[in-house]
Amino acid sequence: MRLHQGIYTEGLAMERPSKWIGEKEVAQITGRGLQTLRNDRAKGQGIPYSKFGRLVRYSLEDVLAYMQAHKIRVDPL
**For residue 2, what pLDDT is reported?**
47
Task: Tell me how far apart the alpha carbons of residues 10 and 47 are, in angstroms, rounded to a whole number.
Answer: 27
pLDDT at 76: 87
pLDDT, tens only, 1-41: 444 445 545 555 556 667 999 999 999 999 999 999 999 99
Q: For 65, phi and psi rounded to 5 degrees?
A: -65, -40
Strand partners, 69: none
pLDDT tens, position by position, 45-64 = 999 999 999 999 999 999 99
- How many residues are recorded in the chain? 77
What is the pTM (predicted TM-score) of this model? 0.73
Backbone phi, psi, residue 67, to 5°: -65, -40
Predicted confidence at residue 1, as pLDDT, reads 43
